[in-house]
Each structure stands twice: as structure tokens, then as C-alpha cells.
Amino acid sequence: MARSWREWEKPLVDLEEGIRRLRELRERVAPDKAGALDRQIAEFEQKRDEYIRIKYSRLGAWERTLVARAETRPYTLDYIRYLVDDWVELHGDRRFADDKAIVGGLGRIGERSCVIVGHQKGRDLKSRQYRNFGMAKPEGYRKAIRLFQMADRFNLPVVTFVDTPAADPGVESESRGISQAIAEGMFAMFGLGVPSVSVIIGEGGSGGAIGIAVANRVLMLENSIYSVIPPEGCAAILWRDPTASDRAAAALRLTAKDALELGLIDQIVPEGFGGAHRNPQETASNVKLAIERSLDGLAPLSRDEIREQRFHRFRKIGVVAEPTPTREA
Amino acid sequence: MSADERIAVTFDPGSFQELDADLASENPLAFPEYAEKLERGFGATGRRDPIVRGTAALDGMRVSVAVSDFAFMGGSMGSVAGEKITRTLELALDERIPAVVFTATGGARMQEGLLSLMQMAKTAGACRRLSDAGVPFICVFTDPTMAGVLASYASLADVILAEPGALVGFAGARVSAQAQVARVPDNFQTSEFNLEHGMIDLVVPRLEMRETLIRILAHVTQRGGREVGAVMA
């Protein structure tokens, strides 16, 4: 079992690195030697494509978890760069601080100005720490709530991008009411009279995710995950064995396909050949199209209908056996 | 304390009428060892879910009630608990009577995966409707009240009471300690810690719980009467 995306994709990454070097070499060699190099590059590329086809057609739940966490995957601000026009980031919760693990602001998606909020991770050591690994503190959820409420006042749709391993579990967060902030986030989203769309772009990590994901439409990227607990945690609790994470990932049914089959999400957004990290632009245009279509579908609804639709979307979720329904006394 | 004992010491004698007692989990993910755990929970409590719900009276006032029993799979919230809590809040809304919920839980139930996470949203939606309609909801945190339940309906009550010394927090204490360089305070994730940080209204000893609930409900429903006054005198 591979422990990280790097380990799992290593042969592929090596192949891609080889191709890059051959191309560099190709720029520098004499014209009579170029033909041989071209053939070699073509051969490598064919190998790479074949490798991607095989690897990505058989992604198990654990492999998807690794891909969903890949630090080369596009993050919220990347999607904003690709698909949002005239972006203005807005900071702070007006109560305590500006959480760097949740970004928010105003921007245009297609023809519509929207309020956009999403978890933000970092890529290198420094930016990861700066973003607290995408783990938001209470002030992050409170910033989101403030922006949701502003969207409601100005009749702007709300779009959220979900990508967090979990909400921040530290003493600070407990002291400032992380549970209350997450609950309040859901509460605020249920109250919105404007349409909302949430897109799970990477890790949909438990309470940290749902706190900004109570939307009229919930979409998942093909290789994203959405789970009540990380597979490692599940394996540790159930089998006292963190190396059983692959078994736990499968048991938790945390992939986009699972969530769609269980009726918990509305749509899977395709990522293109080899995943979003190989095709950020293509993935972003798929995301943009899906958001626009979702908002088009919600546009005819009144404010009350928007709230009703959202409430019933979540109200109906749950699998229960009810042998003898009791009438209310 | 079992759900039955809790009901007996809190509500008017003989007033509790249970609803949805047969609502049972279906193991929708075919999760390993889940069926056995449900059976064990049934063996321990004689029930199909930690949440026991129904109607009861508090000093004569009709209330919609749910009480969690920790002995059933650690009081965890899956589809059934989410549904029962939602129905508790909906009955309160339909009849415009207060909702009173006692929590005792480790959080969302892992064995129902994303379905359990969605119960956080479902119950929060029911809280929203109750709140918009101006129907009171009181939640009492008992030991422990954690994670997915604390981060959903439990924290959305109009008034939050907690028993002394109850464990109340988002992340397991070990996770929190690992995440922190600083020392974890001695009273970390207790009722008292939460009171100090402004997250709950009141820490109430078990023997005073019934009277406190009656007094608060009398105020918020503006039905404060002679009997209530007598209790508190």
C-alpha cells in the first residue's frame, strides 16, 4: 500500500521527468540526430499515456484519497484564477482574525457576480504552515458566514470550494468554539435565499467540509473524496492499524462515485486524462461549466423555493428501516 | 445514566410517550462488523439506536424530547439518530412546543460514512426552521458530547446547559494535544472550559436540572406560573 501520492505516482512522475529531459535535449542537438530523439520521445509518451490509462482506470478508494491530497492538484485560489473574472479577495471575520485556511471574496463566474468561499491549502512547507494545512479555525467559518450573509443581502449566488483534511483540532480552536462555528456555518447556509453551489475539489474532510457545503447543489470532482473520518483514523479506531487505511477507505465509500450512488451529491465533474493535477485548465473549465449549469437550473426559483429545495435536499438523506411507523401521539 | 433513567428523573412521572422506537439502522454501506455492533447495542440497551425520542411533560408543559444513550455504540449519530433528532425538532415545530434534547455521544457514526456526516446538515436544517419559527430548543450536554453532534444541532440550541465535568469538545483530546505545541489546560474540553470560553449558557448539577429547565421554559414560552415559582422558591 502506497502511503503518499508521490510514492504511488513515482513511476509515472519519473517517466514524465524523462520526457521533459529528452525534449530539452531535442532543442540542443543537430538536425540529423533529431529524428531519433523524436521517436524516443513519442515512445516515452505512449508509455506514459498507457501507464495513466491503466493506473487511473483502476483507482481504488485509497488511491483516490492519495490523488485527492496530491500537492500538485489545483487548490481553491487556482480555480479562482482559472474560472473567476474580476476577483476581489475579502478578508477577516470582523470578530477576531483573518483565517488563511479559508479564502473568500467577490468574483464573476460567466455572467454572474458571486460570493466565492473555499478552503485553501499551501504547497511548500512555508505556505502549508501559512494556510494551516487547509484546516480552518472558528474565524475561518465566521468569515465564510459573514460573506454568505452579504451575498444574501445583495442577491448574489454563493459558490464554495471544499478542500480540507479537517477543521483545526487545536486548543485555540476549541477555545473559540470550532464546533459552534461549523454548526453556525450550516445554519447560515440553510437560511440563504440565494442559490448556492458547493464543489468538493480535493478532500471533503468531515465537519470541516460540511461547515461550508450546505448548498442547493453539491458537486464532486472525479478524484475528490468526501468522508466522515479520514481512512487512517477509521483504521486506527476499528482495527488499531493505521496501515489498514486502504481497507478503511473502501469501507467508508468516500469516492465521488460512491457519493453519487448513495444519492448524496448531484453530479461528478470530470477531471480529464490523468487527473486535475495534469489538466488544471481543462478541469477548471469543466468546473466552471458545472457551476454555471447548476446556477442556471436554480435561477427560476424564488427565495423561499431556494430555501425549501435546499432544506429538502438534506432532509431526505438517511437510510432507516421503519417496521411499524408510529403516529404522533 | 441510561436514557430511561434520565427521562425518569427529568420529566413529570409517567408523562413520557415514546415515538419511533422501532426505527433501526440498515447498514447501508455493508460496513465491516457493523451488524454485530448494532446487535451488541441492542443487547446493552434493548433499543435500536442511542436516541430515545417522544413527548413528555415538564411541570405540565408538553415538550418534544430526545435523549441519547451512550451505551448504544457510544451514542453515535447515524441515519437513525439524525432522523429521530430531526423528527423531534419537527414535532416541536408542528405543535409549537419546546424541544428538549439530552446529548451523550462520541460524534458521527463512522460505520455509515458520508450518510452520517450528512445528518449533521439535516439536523442543522431542522434547527434553522425551529429557530425561524421562534420555537424554543434547549440542549443539555451530558458526558460526553463530542465532534459531529457538538458541531451540529447541539450547538444550535437557544439555550445550552451542561452537566458538571462532562467532556465537551470537537476533536479527541489526543488529537488536540498532538496539534498543539502549547500545554493543554487542565480543564480542557470540560463543561467548565466551555462555560469559561462562552460556548454554553450554564453548568447545572443533575439534581437541579429539572427545575432549571422548567424555569427557563416558563420564561421563553411566557407561561411562568405559580407552580414554577414554587419550585424555584
The pLDDT of A214-240, averaged and rounded, is 94
B120 and A207: CB-CB below 8 Å? yes
Return the percentage of chain B with pLDDT > 90, whole number: 87
Query: What would the 3-class secondary structure string for A238-302 be?
Result: HHCCHHHHHHHHHHHCCEHHHHHHCCCCCEEECCCCCCCCCCHHHHHHHHHHHHHHHHHHHCCCC
State the pLDDT confidence band at B226, using cuts at 50, 70 and 90.
Answer: very low
Residue A155 has pLDDT above 90, yes or no: yes
Residue B229 has pLDDT above 50, yes or no: no
Residue A227 has pLDDT above 70, yes or no: yes
Work out the mean pLDDT of chain B and round it to a whole number.
92
Interface of B with A in 98-137 (CB under 8 A): 108-110, 112-122, 124-129, 131-132
Residue B224 has pLDDT above 70, yes or no: no
Tens digit of pLDDT for each residue in B2-22?
999 999 999 999 999 999 999
State the pLDDT confidence band at A304, using cuts at 50, 70 and 90.
Answer: very high
Cβ contacts of A206 on chain B, cutoff 8 Å = 108, 117, 148
Tens digit of pLDDT for each residue in B41-84?
999 999 999 999 999 999 999 999 999 999 999 999 999 999 99
Cβ contacts of B114 on chain A, cutoff 8 Å = 226-228, 252-254, 258-259, 262, 264
Q: To which CATH superfamily is domain B3-232 assigned?
A: 2-enoyl-CoA Hydratase; Chain A, domain 1 (3.90.226.10)
Q: What is the pLDDT of residue A73?
A: 96
A326 and B19: CB-CB below 8 Å? yes
Chain B nearest C-alpha distance from A52 (Å): 29
B115 and A264: CB-CB below 8 Å? yes
B208 alpha-carbon distance from chain centroid: 18
Tens digit of pLDDT for each residue in B146-173?
999 999 999 999 999 999 999 999 987 6
Chain A nearest C-alpha distance from B49 (Å): 11
User: Is residue B15 less than 8 Å (CB to CB) from chain A?
Assistant: no
3 state SS of B37 = helix
State the pLDDT confidence band at A327, using cuts at 50, 70 and 90.
Answer: low
CA separation for the pair A140, A103 (Å, rounded) = 8
Q: How far is CA A122 from CA A131, A256, B117, B173, in A?
A: 6, 23, 26, 26
Q: What is the pLDDT of residue A128?
A: 96
State the pLDDT confidence band at B227, using cuts at 50, 70 and 90.
Answer: very low
The 8-class DSSP code of residue B185 comes to: P
Instruction: Residue B150: count other Cβ atoms within 10 Å of its Cβ.
Output: 30
- Nearest CB among A191, A310, A318 relative to B79 is that of A318
The pLDDT of B121-148, averaged and rounded, is 97
Residue A167 has pLDDT above 90, yes or no: yes
User: Is residue B44 less than 8 Å (CB to CB) from chain A?
Assistant: no
Q: What is the pLDDT of residue B152?
A: 98
Chain A nearest C-alpha distance from B27 (Å): 8
Residue B175 has pLDDT above 90, yes or no: no
Q: Which of A319, A322, A324 to mutate to test the interface with B (most CBs of B within 10 A)?
A: A319
Closest Cα partner for B77 from B42, B126, B119?
Answer: B119
A320 and B131: CB-CB below 8 Å? no
Amino acid at A56: Y
The residues spanned by each domain of chain A are 5-58, 66-315
Amino acid at A242: P
The pLDDT of A103-125, averaged and rounded, is 97
Amino acid at B176: S
**CATH code reported for the domain at A66-315:** 3.90.226.10
Cβ contacts of A137 on chain B, cutoff 8 Å = none
pTM of the model: 0.94
- Nearest CB among B28, B148, B155 relative to A319 is that of B28
